Amino acid sequence: MTKPKFFAFLIALLMWTVGVALFGFFNMPKTVLPYAEAHAPGFVFLIADVWGLVPLGILFFILALTPTGRALQRWASGDREVPPDRVPWGTRVGMVATLFMTFGQAWITAALVLQWHRRDLPWVAQAMRGPHWAGLPDPHHLIPRFWVAAGGLLLAWVGNSLPKLLSPFRGGQEPYDWGKMMRTCGWVMTVCGLVTVACSLFVADLRAAMLISAAILMAPAVAILPIWAIYRLGGQPSAAPPRRL
């Protein structure tokens, strides 16, 4: 990515963030304060969600570009640096993460706006965020289950596509067997995602379903570290000839 394109991307990102923030601010009715007092912990958590995602995304994006970020990448790759002509690979990962987080922020802001206007837009609020927030009954907890299932599906989808990622290292310079590692991680994530979906749909008690789902969603993170360590410490570098991007 060229410098002007990079700065254009950052400016667009900031404009998007400011736009979403202003939209949320001007849509905040006075009724939100009593609600905040009544639901303080949850509300604080949501505010942190809304305003924490974008800085986190930008931090992730910057980490992919700065020397500190590249030092971290180098350490994770057994002191082998990604060749300069392949650095765009790292920025692409950062960009995708940033976009995900920014759109996540927009989604949550939209949900908050709907919640604030739930008396005017009860059906939209019900469809978008759930009867609980719209003040309507939901005895079977269908909406929370839907969100957990959606998270599981997202995890399965990401896991499914993971082995399609090509290595950013040149052949013969890979610190571990990239293909094997990606395949193993992909399988772990996909299976965890699908089990989460099944769990959210079929476990009768919602709290148990949420707990089991959270544990399963954590499993890929816990599993990927040992997989990475095995391939970093014990894996053989690829014997293939070098390849260009």
Partner 1 sequence: MNLVFKALADPTRRTVLQLLRRRPMTAGEIAAHFKVSKPTMSAHFAILREAELIDGEKIGKTIVYRLKLSVLEDAMLSFAEAMGLGHELGAASSQSASSEPLGKPS
Residue placing its CB nearer to partner 1 in the complex, 213 or 238: 238
Q: What are phi and psi of 137, to 5 degrees?
A: -70, 145
Q: Measured from the CB atom, is 144 or 179 closer to partner 1?
A: 179
Nearest CB to partner 1, comparing residues 24 and 186? 186
Residue in the structure block whose two tokens are 């994530």: 189
Q: Which of 21, 171, 212, 224 binds partner 1 (CB under 8 A)?
A: 171
Closer Cβ to partner 1, 134 or 162, answer by number: 162
Classify residue 234 as exposed, middle or buried by CB count within 10 Å of its CB (0-12, 13-18, 19+).
Answer: exposed
DSSP state of 30: T
Is residue 66 part of the contact set for partner 1 (CB under 8 A)?
no
162 binds partner 1 (CB under 8 A): yes
Give the separation between CA 157 and CA 21, rounded to whole angstroms: 30
The answer to whether the CB of 116 falls within 8 A of the CB of 134 is no
163 binds partner 1 (CB under 8 A): yes
The yes or no reply on residue 240 touching partner 1 (CB under 8 A) is: yes
Its sign, for the CA torsion 231, 233, 239, 245, is positive
- Of 36 and 93, which CB lies nearer to partner 1 in the complex structure? 93
Give the C-alpha separation, 93 to 111, whole Å.
27
Rounded Cα distance between 14 and 55, Å, is 10
Please choose, out of 81-89, 92-100, 102-110, 235-243, the segment that lies near partner 1 by the rule CB under 8 A. 235-243
Asked whether position 234 contacts partner 1 by CB under 8 A, the answer is no
168 lies in the site for partner 1, by CB under 8 A: no
Q: Which stretch binds partner 1 (CB under 8 A): 35-43, 99-107, 118-126, 157-165?
A: 157-165
Q: Which C-beta is closer to partner 1: that of 59 or that of 191?
A: 191
Tokens 């896991």 map to which residue?
Answer: 159
- To the nearest whole angstrom, how small is the minimum distance from the Cβ of residue 186 to partner 1? 5
Of residues 3, 30, 207, 244, which one binds partner 1 by CB under 8 A? 244
154 near partner 1, rule: CB under 8 A: no
Which DSSP letter does residue 81 get?
A: P
Q: What angle do CA 156, 167, 159 make, to 5 degrees?
A: 5
Which phi and psi (to 5°) does residue 117 adopt?
-105, 30
Residues that bind partner 1 (CB under 8 A): 159-164, 166, 171, 177, 179, 183, 186-187, 190, 238-244
